[in-house]
Structure 1
Amino acid sequence: MARLFMQVLADLGHRVDIVSTLRSYNRKGDSGHESETVAAAAIEVERLSAAWQADPATRPDLLFTYHVYHKAADYLCPALKRRFNLPYVIAEPSVAPKREHGPWAAGYRQAALAIRAADILLPITELDRVCLSAFAGADKVQVFPPFLDHEPFAAAADARGRHRDAVKRLHGLEPEKPWLLAVGMMRAGDKIASFLRLAEMLKLGMDAEWQILLVGDGPERKTAEQAFAFAGNRARFTGQLDSQDLPGLYAACDLYVWPAINEAYGMALLEAQAAGLPVLSVRTRGVPDVVRHGETGWLAMDDRPETLAAALRGILGDKELRRSMAATSIRHVAAHLSMTAARQRLSAAFAPLGLPA
């Protein structure tokens, strides 16, 4: 998503420079790590300040940061904004008041400082918009839905038959039975939790006809393989695939399935729809910002295995609904969640700053 924002900025005629590679991410809330980040950031602020003062032509017109929250606070831009009186924008900020105390307290305080200092906040989801508006003021908060370059996915959808033949040959799937797909990194935490919940759901749905391709790899792959052992050859692990192979795979399948445990919004959910693959997921967090329930996919009310299994049976039993959702998905992504839509939104968001657009 960060790279996509950079591309949109460039498309609008802005020169995009990564002025620092300082990484503030603090996965475990380690106080020593946070202290090291503070010290390194202070050095970076002085380095950049000296460079911009020595050559004012290198000074930016705007500070832009992506994904500021308690685990990854912005220690650079608030200080640089104060020194040079520069406009400051944060894309995908989020604030979790419950982190004000505890291991991430220092990161929370700095993230809060940055969020309040920013001129414009571009949260990805409606959930974050509500929280940020109460925290920093609604006037500078604008929802900026997730987006992608939809064209490779739309092209894959146009060639669905060819991609379906290729997937059948490669993975030995039976064409008369629905093909399910899930894509995700097999790592500890929420990702493997989603794979395990998916396995529980499918175990309850063994009475339905389905086959599933599980795309991804990582340190928890064996855990995932053990969880899906009950399915036999109905579940096939592909390993990690190159990004250029995914559009065709999405287009070839019949339903994307993902429980989205603690998922911010789910980029793969957006990719699936861009390729005309309807989604079965859960009505939680930012997923409803990506999937339109009943139109581009189906969102279960909760992530209990029995709830998901019941939803799966319903969708697999309604081929016409899947076809309708597939067509609507492609149109919706092209109109609202594409690079073109993102350029229009960002141009409008920048207008109050007096920047070229």
Structure 2
Amino acid sequence: MTLGQGKRVAFYAPMKSPHHPVPSGDREMARNLIAVIGAGGAQVDLVSELKIYDKQGDTLVQQDLRDRAQAEAAQLIREMPSADVWVTYHNYYKAPDLIGPTVASARGIPYVQIESTRAYSRLAGCWADFAQSAHDACDAADVIFYLTANDLITLERERHGRQALVHLPPFLPVETLPARSTLNGPMLAAGMMREGDKLASYRLIAEVLPHLAGDWQLHIAGDGPARGQVESLMAPFGERVVFLGQLTRDQMAEAYGQASLFFWPGVNEAFGMVYLEAQSHGLPVVAQDRPGLRDILSPAQYPSPDLGPQVLATKICRLLDDRDLRAKRGTDARTMIATTHLAPAATQRFWSTVTPYLEIST
């Protein structure tokens, strides 16, 4: 029997439902997890779309969310269809799982988390209660799947009892590699246009571009509330920078397939699906050496953030000037993706880990 076949999974993402209308990496990851868990023959039910998220650290908001979560949990205990396991995606101090531990315990089923973090620095201050709830939810988990080595540090330090901590490498929701890029087109960047770390990456791109030589061109895929600021940053480069807007999956594949390289600095990225997508098409990546990216970028020299824009520009110029180097880097990237970061590997890792817990609970 295929691992997972015939099983029923209760799935929940407290920060953002996979049905949310606004695109984001969090929504995409939740959708991808549902797909790979279900690929083993299981039925995956999104059992709640209650959003538990406090962006500002407001105690009144947190109490209201607690009250709503308590009512939701009570209803699920009464009415949720039978399930073999509960899976929660992305439990952390701004979006703790206030439902899963209660329901899983009442139903007597294993409780599993994917991409959870422990932030002890948040146990004081305006998120203290929510941070404690996120820790309590972590403690309740039989298994926590972590995506990057950086996440493992605090999870391992605060591991609860005999809890299993298992690496689930970030993955693409496909079984085979897409067509390889021609490597002959413009550079490509892709990221949501919003304040914070995304805008910081765009600012850094704008600082790098003046150092590039030759007849370069950059295409940018993405949109968002900070688009005006991004356009202002890129205005000095005129027609060399082209805005593609928000693209569909097929349109992004076309953009990857025509690009020469993928350039996204990755300021404070946890990991980033765009890196996996770009590398699956055989694009060499220019990014900074940051903790979250080390788990998903093929081996190469990525400059430290403190080295500044000039070093990134040097990396880009070398790749643009040497097609053979671009091809070699792209081949290395595709090999890594095919080996570790496609859906079948994720499905196998999930069910081979979870199945023994199902056998214990039955």
What SS does structure 2 have at the residue aligned with 1:17?
Answer: strand
Query: Partner residue of 2:205?
Result: 198
Root-mean-square deviation (CA, aligned residues, Å) is 2.0
Amino acid of the residue matched to residue 168 of structure 2?
A: F
> 1:139: Cα distance to partner?
5.1
Q: What are the equivalent positions in structure 2 for 1:1-357 lying under 5 Å apart?
A: 1-51=29-79, 58-137=81-160, 140-150=164-174, 154-157=177-180, 160=181, 179-203=186-210, 205-294=211-300, 298-302=301-305, 304-354=308-358
* DSSP-derived class of the 1:70 partner: coil
Letter in 2 for 1:179: P
Q: Per-residue deviation at 1:126?
A: 0.7
User: TM-score, normalising length from structure 1?
Assistant: 0.87
| Residue of structure 2 in register with 1:167 after alignment | none
Over residues 209-252 of structure 1, what are the superposed CA-to-partner deviations in whole Å (9 max), with x where a residue is unaligned? Answer: 42100111111111111111221211111111112111121121
Partner of 2:13: none
Q: C-alpha separation between the residues in 2 aligned to 1:79 and 1:151?
A: 35
SS state at 2:178 partner: helix
Cα offset for 1:193? 1.3
SS of the aligned residue for 1:354 comes to helix
How many Å apart are 1:151 and its aligned residue? 5.4
CA spacing shift, 1:275–1:150, aligned 2, 3 Å: farther
Is 1:123–1:142's contact at 8 Å kept on the other side of the alignment? Answer: yes
Sequence identity of aligned pairs in percent? 33
Instruction: Name the SS of the counterpart of 2:126 in structure 1.
Output: coil
Q: Is the CA contact (8 Å cut-off) linking 1:129 and 1:142 kept in structure 2? A: no
Q: Is the 8 A contact 2:110 2:358 kept in 1?
A: no
Letter aligned with residue 316 of structure 2: L
Verify the 8 A CA contact 1:150 1:274 in the aligned structure 2: no
Greater Cα shift, 63-72 or 29-38: 29-38
- Deviations along 1:60-114, whole A, 9 cap, x unmatched? 1111000111111000011123323220100111122221212221221111000
How many Å apart are 1:202 and its aligned residue? 1.4
| Range moving further from structure 2, 89-98 or 132-141 | 132-141
Q: Which amino acid is the alignment partner of residue 237 of structure 1?
A: F
Aligned residue identity for 1:129: L
Within 1, Cα distance between the matches of 2:334 and 2:259?
A: 14
Q: Normalized against structure 2, the TM-score is what?
A: 0.86
Counterpart contact for 2:141–2:163, Cα < 8 Å: no
Q: Which runs of 5+ in 1 are unaligned?
A: 53-57, 165-174
**How many residues are paired up?**
330
Whether contact under 8 Å (1:150, 1:334) holds in the other structure is: no
| Separation in structure 1 between the aligned mates of residue 31 and residue 342 of structure 2, nearest angstrom | 14
Cα deviation for residue 316 of structure 1 reads 2.7
- For residues 180 and 300 of structure 1, the distance between their equivalents in structure 2, rounded to whole angstroms, comes to 18
Residues 188-212 of structure 1, C-alpha deviations (whole Å, 9 max, x = no match): 1111111111111112x23354210
Shift of 1:306: 2.5
Alignment partner, residue 55 of structure 1: none
Query: What amino acid does structure 2 have at the position aligned with 1:334?
Result: A
Cα distance in 2, alignment partners of residues 242 and 125 from structure 1:
27
Corresponding residue SS for 1:228: helix
Higher helix fraction (1 or 2): 1
Structure 2: unaligned runs, 5 residues or longer: 1-28
Deviation, structure 1 residue 355: 5.1
Amino acid at match of 1:257: F
Q: Report the equivalent of 2:4.
A: none
What is the match of residue 172 of structure 1?
none
What is the CA deviation profile of residues 15-60 of structure 1, one whole-angstrom value per residue up to 9, with x for unaligned ones?
A: 11111111102222222211111000010111112225xxxxx221
Contact residue 150 and residue 333 of structure 1 kept, 8 A: no
Distance 2:142 2:151 in 1: 17
Using the TM superposition, name which of 182-191 and 305-314 deviates more: 305-314
Contact 1:258 1:280 in 2 (8 A): yes
